[in-house]
């Protein structure tokens, strides 16, 4: 597990760590207190992944197309 701040992770980094957390929890050989900490970190990682996916969806939705359907630029999207 990484000690890196979740808020600084890319989608791929957060997803990889989330997968590792789930794997450890599924094995069932982690002490209770560590399981709780892992679960909390996993929940935060899941939230980060969801936020990064939403951000990507909004960026894709901001792409404008010309009359022929070719990308013609982007419209301004707030919140980035």
pLDDT tens digits, 20-75: 999 999 999 999 999 999 999 999 999 999 999 999 988 887 777 777 777 777 66
pTM for the complete prediction?
A: 0.77
Where do the domains of the chain lie? Answer: 6-74
- 6-74 in CATH: which number? 1.10.287
User: What SS3 string covers the chain?
Assistant: CCCCCHHHCCHHHHHHHHHHHHHHHHHCCCCHHHHHHHHHHHHHHHHHHHHHHHHHHHHHHCEEECCCCCEEEECCCCCC
């Amino acid at each position: 597990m990484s000690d890196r701040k979740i808020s600084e992770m890319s989608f791929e980094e957060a997803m990889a760590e989330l997968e590792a957390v789930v794997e450890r929890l599924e094995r069932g050989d982690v002490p209770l207190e560590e399981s709780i900490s892992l679960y909390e970190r996993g929940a935060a990682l899941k939230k980060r992944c969801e936020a990064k996916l939403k951000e990507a969806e909004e960026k894709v939705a901001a792409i404008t197309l010309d009359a022929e359907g070719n990308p013609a630029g982007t419209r301004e999207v707030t919140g980035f």
